[in-house]
Every structure is written in C-alpha cells, then in structure tokens.
C-alpha cells in the first residue's frame, strides 16, 4: 500500500496497465514529454517509449478518431482530453462512431477505448474549464460513464475501464485531484495522504464498473451523488446533523439501481446532487428511476441540488457551485416534506 493523490492513482493505473499489456497506448495534448497539464501521465513516456505515450495535435476529433482506428486494429488506447470542456469537437466521433461500432458491425469490429477527461469546477476555470458534461454521455447508448470520487476508486476503476471491451468515458473531478474537497473553499483541503481512500495498492486491482458504494450509512434520507459532490454531501450531513445515507454512484452507466432503490426504500426520502446544470441533467434520470421503483416508499418529493442552468461563471464560482450549505438546505427541506 502507498499513499497517493488522485493524480498519482490515475497515473499508477495507466502504468500498471501499460506494464501488463503492450496494446495499451496513451496519448493526448501535452501528455507525452511533459506528462499532461495535470501531470497524470508524467513519466510514462520515459518508461514505455514515445510510441506508447505521446503528444497529440490540438485536435480532439482527431484524437478520438485515431483512437477508434487504433482500437479497430486491436490496441487499447487510453486517451486524454485535456478538459472535459474540450470534448465537443470529438462528440461526433464519440457518439456516432465509438459508441456504435460494435452494434452496427454486429461485433465484427469493437471499440475498447478509454477517454479520460478532467471534469467539474472549483478551480476558477470559468466556463471553458469547469463543465460537467456526463449527461451528454449517459444519453448515448453504447458508452460507459465513470466518475470516481477518490484515489482508491480512481485507480481500480481506470484499470477496469482499460480492460473493458467497450468505450468508457472516464471523468476525473479535477477539484479532487489533490484532496477530498467538500465545498468549503475558504478552508485548505485535507490532502489525500491523510485520508483512508488515499491508501492505494501499488499493483493491479480492479473495481467492477456498475457498482455504487455507500459512503455513509444513514436512516433519514438517501443522498445520491458522484465525484466531488460525494464529499460535499458528506459535509452537509455532518453539518446539519441529518442522518443521511450517502451513495457514491462511481459509475453512472451502467447504474447500480439496486443500491439506490434499497436505500430509498429504507429512508423514504431522496436528494440527488451534481455539479452539472439541472435541466436534462443526470439527476433527472435518477429522480425518474426512484419514483418508478420507490414511489410507494417516498414520504417527500425528490429534491435535486445542482449547478444553475447558466454557463459556469468565473467570479461567482462559489455562488454557482452547489456547496454544503445548499445541499444542507435541501436535506432540511426533504426532511420537512
């Protein structure tokens, strides 16, 4: 066991995978010699050579398109889009190509690629470095969508994603790279080295894709969250004293519906939390599923706490980000409902 930040955990996952399988290649903007703007691929080119870890032109549709071609050949590309906000030029390749190659060719060709991308806000990145586009992926059949919340999960899930036979969108909450940020931006974040989930095995292990984890057992209300919002929800539960059960989805697609349903049937209340905008966000899907499967157990309307339906602002970041105060208010609201 070692203490790792989420950056180190992600890097370790790629290192382990590249060491075990010569077909794993890593590329993207600035990922080669320099090791990526967040340093996730640091040292991989030196260790595995520049034909297995290399810099790509600033061309996201080209990065996706070439990765798809490599996967058709038989490689397992694990590529980086520098910020999730930059993925839009590649969206055509992701949705109409990567996601459908297995289906449209009846398995004659497949597309085992992983697309890593830093996601979410909290770093004063403004509207082009703060977005959370996960719902744009969960709406596309043929993709798997993962959002880890800690180093241990990030490594195990990333190795599982690289070994998965289908395309996986791997969204890394950038505000969690160095510690479990709980939305209290005025306080320094606890480093992962002082957190249990910063303890990460150095070798190979996987976490099954599609399994949620209960981060805090509770009886009063179920909070469904993923990524940074897991830590925000935990803080809100502590600060309000409401006995919330906090579920970390980890994988949005496939979704661990059983864990959600089991919890809501127990608590009778549900709050869904994400950083992404409200309308047509993933929270809407979770809310619909909860009412379909738990309607007669619900004692209050389901509440969503999300980013506002506006572009992500710069100066007003902390009025936009759904922090512990907003989640806490929602918990109180649903308890009174």
Q: Tell me which residues touch other proteins (CB under 8 A).
A: 25, 51-52, 56-57, 59, 61-62, 65-70, 72-75, 89, 92-93, 96-97, 101-110, 141-142, 144, 165-166, 210, 253-255, 257
**With respect to other proteins, which residue has the nearer C-beta, 66 or 291?**
66
Sign, Cα dihedral of 24, 207, 138, 136: negative
**With respect to other proteins, which residue has the nearer C-beta, 89 or 201?**
89
Q: How far is the CB of 68 from other proteins (least distance, A)?
A: 5
CB 251 within 8 A of CB 134: no
Which residue, 291, 323, 324, is CA-closest to 308?
323
Quick check: is 314 catalytic?
no
Place of tokens 């249990």: 196
Is 1 buried (19+), middle (13-18) or exposed (0-12) by CB count in 10 A?
A: exposed
Q: How far is the CB of 67 from other proteins (least distance, A)?
A: 6
Q: How far is the CB of 55 from other proteins (least distance, A)?
A: 9
**With respect to other proteins, which residue has the nearer C-beta, 66 or 193?**
66
Sequence-distant (≥ 6) Cβ neighbours of residue 19 within 8 angstroms: none
**Whole-angstrom Cα distance, residue 50 to residue 97?**
27
Structure tokens at 266: 């127990």
**With respect to other proteins, which residue has the nearer C-beta, 27 or 83?**
27
Which residue, 137, 146, 141, is CA-closest to 78?
146
Q: How many residues does the chain have?
A: 337
**With respect to other proteins, which residue has the nearer C-beta, 62 or 268?**
62
| Cα dist from 50 to 41, 216, 263, whole Å | 12, 44, 48
CA 179, distance to chain mean position in Å, is: 15
**With respect to other proteins, which residue has the nearer C-beta, 51 or 187?**
51
| Cα dist from 325 to 67, 106, 125, 249, whole Å | 42, 49, 22, 22
**With respect to other proteins, which residue has the nearer C-beta, 23 or 199?**
23
Sign, Cα dihedral of 69, 70, 71, 72: positive
Which residue, 248, 236, 226, 148, is CA-closest to 192?
148
Q: How far is the CB of 162 from other proteins (least distance, A)?
A: 14
Phi-psi region for residue 249, left (φ > 0), alpha (ψ -120 to 50) or beta? alpha
Q: Which of 129, 204, 231, 297 is catalytic?
A: 129
* Positions marked catalytic: 129
């Amino acid at each position: 066991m070692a203490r790792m930040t989420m950056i180190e955990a992600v890097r370790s996952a790629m290192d382990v995978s590249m060491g075990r399988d010569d077909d794993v290649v890593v590329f993207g903007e600035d990922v080669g010699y320099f090791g990526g703007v967040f340093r996730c691929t640091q040292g991989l080119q030196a260790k595995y050579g520049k034909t297995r870890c290399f810099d790509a032109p600033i061309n996201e549709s080209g990065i996706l398109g070439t990765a798809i071609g490599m996967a058709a050949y038989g490689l397992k590309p694990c590529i980086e889009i520098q910020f999730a906000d930059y993925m839009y030029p590649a969206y055509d390749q992701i949705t109409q190509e990567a996601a459908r190659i297995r289906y449209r060719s009846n398995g004659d060709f497949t597309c085992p690629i992983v697309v890593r991308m830093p996601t979410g806000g909290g770093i004063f990145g403004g509207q082009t470095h703060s977005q959370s586009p996960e719902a744009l992926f969960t709406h596309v059949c043929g993709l798997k969508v993962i959002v880890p919340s800690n180093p241990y999960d990030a490594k195990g899930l990333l190795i599982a994603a690289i070994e998965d036979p289908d395309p996986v969108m791997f969204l890394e909450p950038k505000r969690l790279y160095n510690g479990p940020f709980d939305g209290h931006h005025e306080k320094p974040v606890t480093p992962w080295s002082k957190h249990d989930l910063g303890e990460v095995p150095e070798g190979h292990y996987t976490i099954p894709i599609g399994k949620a984890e209960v981060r805090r057992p509770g009886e009063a209300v179920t909070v469904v969250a993923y990524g940074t919002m897991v830590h925000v929800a935990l803080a809100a539960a502590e600060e309000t004293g409401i006995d919330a059960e906090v579920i970390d989805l980890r994988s949005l697609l496939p979704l661990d519906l059983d864990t959600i349903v089991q919890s809501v049937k127990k608590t009778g209340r549900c709050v869904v939390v994400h950083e992404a905008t409200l309308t047509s966000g993933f929270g809407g899907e979770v809310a619909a599923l909860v009412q379909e499967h738990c309607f007669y157990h619900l004692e209050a309307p389901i509440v969503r706490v999300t980013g506002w339906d506006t572009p992500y602002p710069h100066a007003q970041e902390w009025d936009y980000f759904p922090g512990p105060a907003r989640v806490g208010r929602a918990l109180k609201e649903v308890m009174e409902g």
